[in-house]
Structure 1
Amino acid sequence: MNSDSVKKGAARAPHRSLFRALGLTDREINQPFIGVVNSFNELVPGHMHLRQISEAVKAGVRENGGTPLEFSTIAVCDGIAMGHVGMHFSLASRELIADSVEIMARAHGLDALVFIPSCDKVVPGMLMAAMRLNLPAIVVSGGPMLPGRFRGEEVNLISVFEGVGKVLSGQESEEWLKGLESKACPTCGSCAGMFTANSMNCLTEVLGMALPGNGTIPAVYSERLILAKETGYQVVDLWRQNIRPRDIVTKESILNGVAADMALGCSTNTILHLPAVAFEGEIEFDLNLVNRVSEETPQICKLSPALHGHYLVDLNEAGGISAVLKTLLDAGLIDGSVKTVSGGPLAERIQDAVVRDTKVIRSLTEPYSAKGGLSVLFGDLAPEGAVIKVGALAQRDFVFEGRAKVFDGEDLASEAISAGRIVAGDVVIIRYEGPKGGPGMREMLGPTATLAGMGLDETVALLTDGRFSGGSRGLSIGHIAPEAALGGEIAFIEDGDLVRIDLKKRTIDWILPEEEKEKRRQQFDQAKGLEKAFEVAGRTGYLGRYAQFVQSANKGAAFRATKED
């Protein structure tokens, strides 16, 4: 289906009359219809400026002979949604974004699409829609925020979250915290470090679905508007050449994305979103490949929150994603033959890229680590996998053993942390926060940031079937699958049980006699576990439906085609 189906022939005269009601000329009606998917709103700092980006995109489309037609999608600010019922809706919004784009594009016979996201779930939601629809498509994000400055130091949103922990532990005053909050987020754009939004915008560029600079050009630079114009121009060329997302996002380009993920030390949430994008494109994604790629790919970038003082603006000045990819390509760590929205192969696109600052993009001979920034752990506590951002740890290969302190939900855990009931050596278990059990798999930035502010991020482990923010750091292990609500082992663990985490072996185990484990399994009531989800979600609203259709974290928390019995 294309726009001819809504505008050609005598039978479509009523349709054309409606296009004329929009003010379209005959010339505009006869040109390709380019959907401009704008996630602008006045709630999300990463999206507040997207009207300007959209106008630039539309100018580029018109310059190259297309007719831009703008429509909107929702967008959730994870920072504002954090720590309360709103976070149940964050990951869940990804599926609604993909669905809404599908509805608009199919209902109106669009020929091609330009996606304008910025923040966490909007980027993957739009990529999922691109793969599902397989219309010529290209992405241009709103760009990253600049860091702020407070008392002579660079700061960002995570500084404020961690500042709460400093106040609770008596290190700083509430007056200090107020000063920090007023300086941490000084511009529009996605928050300044390598958090989830910027991770996904960088990986969109790696996958070939965006022009160079998409991941790193700051939101407030005029260069971002130029990129938007070029994006609008380029999508019309993609339409003329019939280059589609499934020609670009292949198994090989997904592997490139994982390699870049390892080199950049991206958010753990990428290990939810890349599988979901692959799922929409009918590309197999095995979590084991993350560890295989990590073994071969050094981490050559370390940005906030892993390293204070390095932000997306610094990566941009150092050569951007193209320079990172050129470094990996020269070492044979990625496939340069894959297609991109630029029209040619990746190798051609990045052939002139250079590293301009080796403090930000290190050489492969002097990396931050010989292995990648993420690891997937397996073991009897997580037989289907769990994810940790090892690139944000001071040391990567060590064994941590501790006694469990178990909480059925984030709120109870946060209360215990704030009250000082968590001490060095504890293993904090937060369960019933998975895709179904949450529902919506809430991020745990509040607990991790508070622990970091208290100085406990390296001496307390935090395990959950939920997930962590891209801004989380420390011994934080998320995505534990199967989740508690489905009868995963995390449902059976009790206070005082011994947990062993071996980062070198990539294992996470529950140390208890098998007879006792089996006894607890037999006592588990799955219906009761799922009932916890419905207490939050209700049965008639979106979250109730979401809980019925969502798949496990190891499958990207993507929707299954039909509801489970």
Structure 2
Amino acid sequence: MATKDGRNTRPLRSNYEIGSSFWAVRRAQWRAMGLTDEDMEKPKIAVINTSSELAICFNHLDHVAAVVKQAIRDAGGLPFEVRTAAPSDFIHSAGNAGKYILPSRDLITNDIEVQVEGAQLDGMVCLASCDKTAPGQLMAAARLNIPTIFAICGYQGSGHMGEEHVDIEEVFLGAGHHAMGAITLDRLKEMSEKAITSSGVCSGMGTANSMHTVCEALGMTLPGHAPVRAAGGGMLDNAAEAGKRIVDMVWEDLRPRQILTEAAFENAVRSVFAVSGSINTIKHLQAVATEADTDIDVYGMYERLMDSSPVLVAVRPNGDSSIEEFDDGGGARAILKNLGALTRTEAMTVAGKTLGETLDGWQPPTDTVKTAEAPLSDKPAIVLVRGNLAPDTGIIKLGLRYDRKLKVTGPAVCFDNPIDAIEGLKAGKVTAGDVLVLRGLGVRGGPGMGMASRVVFAIEGAGLGEDVAVVTDGQLSGLVNKGLVVGEVTPEAHGGGPLGLVRDGDQITIDVLARRVDVDMDDAEMETRRSALPPVGHSGQRGWLSIYEGEVEPLSRGAVLIPPRG
């Protein structure tokens, strides 16, 4: 192989045959943009940017993109900024009852495919920020399988009301309390004015920071990059380092499917348990595994590893540690180091080294992250349950809360949408000891998987958080950590799933330690009720949600929009 600037070179797919029509028309456009023939021979790198003025999660990304692009140029590459959809749960869940949120992940994936694959670019730097951007970008990396690295774009600063800490999670919870008359409008307004002090993603251990941790545990970021303050210089230094590294990755032809192995997914799952992370990571990781064309069963991996995966850090709202303390204590890198023998150190990383090589000789700077030998808890922070109400699976986020009632039995009170559930709460239709069933929010039934969190927070606001359990086929905010809630029940109610057969008064039992969620109904009665259901028809949605409804796969495949293999 010839060398160029000290690197091994190889043919690049972006360099078209000179004199061909593709070469000629692209050259005409790019020369008009000021590029030279020498530029056009360089590795062509997509900088995937979800910049948007709609949300604080994204409004700083143009600056990050500029830093990454300059680093790519300095390293001998040619950057092209590529924009995608930019969904924020707290902004985009207002429309269509929050049903755009999960489908936006797959829209990002397909945005990237169209622009990067269509243009035959050589590599990608993904600017990972809010909840759906990192999983959507990981899915695209797995699907396209071209050299890809993630630049973590940071968490926002949070504030105080006097001596009281307040962040976006408290505002979300506070809205539920206000809906039930538990706090005043003036207090809710003050909370919303003090909660966020900089750009970046939610400051708690929600889906965004969980997925940033996952990116590093998977080996898709450089060591020590997650999490990071959005308002600090460290984020920009990391972004420049990622921009420099991607050029070498292209010459080395280091691709995502060399990194996204079973060992990498196991490290990611262990890290989610260790940080008591978001339950949304399960379906996102399954989607990445599916897009990578692997047979990895992420749901099965969570079940297999949960009882041997300790909790090493408790970032708000799971505990008293701040995200800044986790960051300063080594973040994801400290988790992977302190898991010790539980970490699969043979996994490859974007650094071009194994995880073991990147951890060798490094020690966490503080004791914020505990060790596997002396953890905060040796009980699973997330529990997967099954039973006749959730034959495939249901998910419970427990965090460190094992001092509460872990087995409940109560009569079902059923609602088919969040608005009716909240109105039912206000009207006193839900009382202590009940099990609230919220259904019709699954990926097909939504369509798009509706958000159940506001109902959970309204129950908390009504003073029933410890006395009313919830079973739902909807999704929950990554920040939620209230009450006994079984989320993402599959099969979903739509199409005859058991949750859709439950009637008011049916007795439901949730048994965390037995890993069960059951309704007191025999198989014959279930079939009788199922046969009486009307035929499943189209929801009547138009546009993107209609496409999603027709193409989405079950949660067991990550709710991706590709047909099954085989």
TM-score if structure 2 supplies the norm length?
A: 0.93
Identify the residue that residue 356 of structure 2 maps to in structure 1.
347
Task: Name the CA shift for 1:242/1:514 in 2 (closer, same or farther; >3 Å).
Answer: closer
- Pick the aligned partner of 1:486 from 495, 498, 503: 495
Matched residue of 2:489: which SS? coil
Task: Name the CA shift for 1:157/1:420 in 2 (closer, same or farther; >3 Å).
Answer: farther
Q: Deviations over 1:345-370 (max 9, x none)?
A: 10111224433443x32232332321
**Which amino acid is the alignment partner of residue 247 of structure 1?**
Q
Whole-angstrom CA distance in 2 between matches of 1:23 and 1:319: 43
Contact 2:219 2:350 in 1 (8 A): yes
Contact 1:406 1:429 in 2 (8 A): yes
Identify the residue that residue 402 of structure 1 maps to in structure 2.
410
Identify the residue that residue 527 of structure 2 maps to in structure 1.
518
Matched residue of 1:404: which SS? strand
Identify the residue that residue 6 of structure 2 maps to in structure 1.
none
Task: Quote how far apart the aligned CAs of 1:545 are.
Answer: 1.4
Identify the residue that residue 324 of structure 2 maps to in structure 1.
313
Identify the residue that residue 45 of structure 1 maps to in structure 2.
56
Identify the residue that residue 307 of structure 2 maps to in structure 1.
295
Task: Quote how far apart the aligned CAs of 1:414 are.
Answer: 2.4
User: Is 1:371 paired with 2:415?
Assistant: no
Contact 2:313 2:321 in 1 (8 A): no
Task: Quote how far apart the aligned CAs of 1:14 are.
Answer: 2.8
After superposition, where does 1:159-238 map in structure 2 within 5 Å? 159-238=170-249
Q: Deviations over 1:226-283 (max 9, x none)?
A: 0000000000111111100000111111111111111111111011100000001112
Whole-angstrom CA distance in 2 between matches of 1:151 and 1:494: 47
Task: Name the CA shift for 1:139/1:2 in 2 (closer, same or farther; >3 Å).
Answer: farther
Identify the residue that residue 546 of structure 1 maps to in structure 2.
548
Task: Quote how far apart the aligned CAs of 1:526 are.
Answer: 3.9
Whole-angstrom CA distance in 1 between matches of 2:428 and 2:383: 30
Whole-angstrom CA distance in 2 between matches of 1:337 and 1:344: 9
Whole-angstrom CA distance in 2 between matches of 1:455 and 1:204: 37
- Pick the aligned partner of 1:507 from 506, 516, 525: 516
Identify the residue that residue 265 of structure 2 maps to in structure 1.
254
Contact 1:7 1:29 in 2 (8 A): no
Contact 2:14 2:43 in 1 (8 A): no
Matched residue of 1:421: which SS? coil
**Which amino acid is the alignment partner of residue 500 of structure 1?**
T
Contact 1:144 1:313 in 2 (8 A): no
Task: Name the CA shift for 1:422/1:353 in 2 (closer, same or farther; >3 Å).
Answer: farther
Q: Deviations over 1:203-234 (max 9, x none)?
A: 01110001234321111111100000000000
Identify the residue that residue 498 of structure 1 maps to in structure 2.
507
- Pick the aligned partner of 2:461 from 444, 453, 472: 453
Higher alpha-carbon deviation: 247-256 or 349-358:
349-358
After superposition, where does 1:117-156 map in structure 2 within 5 Å? 117-156=128-167
User: Is 1:428 paired with 2:436?
Assistant: yes
Contact 1:482 1:489 in 2 (8 A): yes
Matched residue of 1:149: which SS? strand
Whole-angstrom CA distance in 2 between matches of 1:304 and 1:420: 31
Identify the residue that residue 4 of structure 2 maps to in structure 1.
none
Task: Quote how far apart the aligned CAs of 1:418 are.
Answer: 4.2
User: Is 1:265 paired with 2:281?
Assistant: no
Q: Deviations over 1:110-132 (max 9, x none)?
A: 01111113111111111010011
Task: Name the CA shift for 1:177/1:5 in 2 (closer, same or farther; >3 Å).
Answer: closer
Task: Quote how far apart the aligned CAs of 1:486 are.
Answer: 2.0
Whole-angstrom CA distance in 1 between matches of 2:281 and 2:205: 11
Higher alpha-carbon deviation: 505-514 or 63-72:
505-514
Task: Quote how far apart the aligned CAs of 1:525 are.
Answer: 2.3
Task: Name the CA shift for 1:193/1:419 in 2 (closer, same or farther; >3 Å).
Answer: farther
Q: CA RMSD in A?
A: 2.0
**Which amino acid is the alignment partner of residue 195 of structure 1?**
G
- Pick the aligned partner of 2:79 from 64, 68, 71: 68
Contact 2:314 2:321 in 1 (8 A): yes
Q: Deviations over 1:69-104 (max 9, x none)?
A: 111001111012335515111100111111111111
Task: Name the CA shift for 1:25/1:84 in 2 (closer, same or farther; >3 Å).
Answer: closer
Whole-angstrom CA distance in 2 between matches of 1:273 and 1:416: 32
Contact 2:176 2:455 in 1 (8 A): no
- Pick the aligned partner of 1:80 from 91, 97, 116: 91
Whole-angstrom CA distance in 1 between matches of 2:416 and 2:285: 28
- Pick the aligned partner of 1:391 from 391, 395, 399: 399
Identical-pair percentage:
34
Q: Deviations over 1:317-362 (max 9, x none)?
A: 112111110011x2x112101110111010111224433443x322
Q: Deviations over 1:146-165 (max 9, x none)?
A: 22112212211110121123
Contact 1:301 1:361 in 2 (8 A): yes
Contact 1:251 1:284 in 2 (8 A): no
TM-score if structure 1 supplies the norm length?
A: 0.94
Contact 1:194 1:267 in 2 (8 A): yes
Contact 2:177 2:457 in 1 (8 A): no
Task: Name the CA shift for 1:2/1:418 in 2 (closer, same or farther; >3 Å).
Answer: farther
Task: Quote how far apart the aligned CAs of 1:457 are.
Answer: 2.5
Whole-angstrom CA distance in 1 between matches of 2:197 and 2:431: 35
Task: Name the CA shift for 1:488/1:117 in 2 (closer, same or farther; >3 Å).
Answer: same
**Which amino acid is the alignment partner of residue 485 of structure 1?**
H
